[in-house]
Structure 1
Amino acid sequence: MSDQPFAVTSLFQLSIGDHTLGSFTSCDGLGCAMDVEERAEGGENGRIRHLPTRLRYTNVVLGRPLNHQTTLVWAWLQLQVIEPVRMPGQLVALGPDRRPLVRWMLDGVLPVRWSGPSFTTEGTSQPARETLEIAHDGFLEVTA
């Protein structure tokens, strides 16, 4: 067993440019995939070569219970409506002790979608949640 910290129940802090958007309780879609082109070579009937073409980065979807930090997201979104500007972003996974585990520096972050809570008085009592989806052009740096 390693004595290194690992994420069990993490929080994720997000900042974009000079805008601190707060902590989120869920993070999905942080990843990338290599596009591969298949090439069959003449005389090589037993194999197909796979050639890398480009790396694609998936959108990141962050979620949290509705709180006062929602106003931070809304202020950033309003600036993006007026003048969309791609800015570097930083996503930090915090461990159970709230200390940083991994930091992803993202290139060219833009908002894709924000959705607020659904309000209902029926069924179980659940906290109102918000989600923020962002697109980015890749990872500038990943550090521990």
Structure 2
Amino acid sequence: MSYYPPLGFYFKVQISGAKSEDDAAFTEVSGLDMEIELEEIKEGGENGFSHRLPGRGKHGNLVLKRGILVKGSQFSNWCKSTLQDGVIGKIACKDLNIFLLDRAGRPLLTWNCTRAWPVKWSVGAFDSTRNDVAVETLEFAFQTLTRR
């Protein structure tokens, strides 16, 4: 059975090795990008072009959005302990997996963010003139991004 093109709304996020998935439901995942920096070298006497050489790989932060959970969750507790303790506490790095699922809930693609740690936790605006869900945004820095 063909799953092309895959649907972008059926996914899950999981802390690698976590036993509970009750708090891993997010409404949006972004930041799954990779690129190679370019180094430009200008050669003396050559004005027609510059040499463009590959540099280091880089990526942005992983951004997860969801409705605010009233009860503390594994993700929330991790963010809270890291961001409130700041540099005086120990930063616990964890691997995060993002799974794009097929219709039966089986992974079609997996992205692994290694040694991730929370760098930002924000809550969307409360507005009495709108009928929106209260949303929290969790942002993570990570060491490497691998697509499998």
Report if the CA contact (8 A) 1:111-1:133 is conserved.
Answer: yes
What's 2:57 paired with? Answer: 55
Q: Structure 1's 129 and 70: CA in aligned 2 closer, same or farther, altered over 3 A?
A: farther
Counterpart AA for 2:76? W
Secondary structure in 2 matching 1:67: coil
What's 1:108 paired with? Answer: 115
1:44-99 CA distances to partner (integer Å, 9 max, x unpaired)?
44332101111111001110122367522222224433420223222222345433
What's 1:94 paired with? Answer: 101
Q: Normalized per residue, which structure has more strand?
A: 1
> How many residues are paired up?
140
The two structures have a TM-score, normalised by structure 2, of 0.76
Q: Does 1:85 align with 2:92?
A: yes
What's 1:3 paired with? Answer: 2
The two structures have a TM-score, normalised by structure 1, of 0.78
5+ residue gaps, structure 1: none
Counterpart AA for 1:3? S
Counterpart AA for 1:130? E
What's 1:13 paired with? Answer: 13
| 1:123-138 to 2 correspondences below 5 Å | 123-138=129-144
Measured on the aligned residues, the alpha-carbon RMSD in Å equals: 2.7
Instruction: Work out the CA distance in 2 between the residues paired with 1:110 and 1:56.
Output: 16
Instruction: Work out the CA distance in 2 between the residues paired with 1:43 and 1:91.
Output: 49
1:33 shift after superposition: 2.2
Secondary structure in 2 matching 1:7: coil
What's the % identity of the aligned pairs? 26
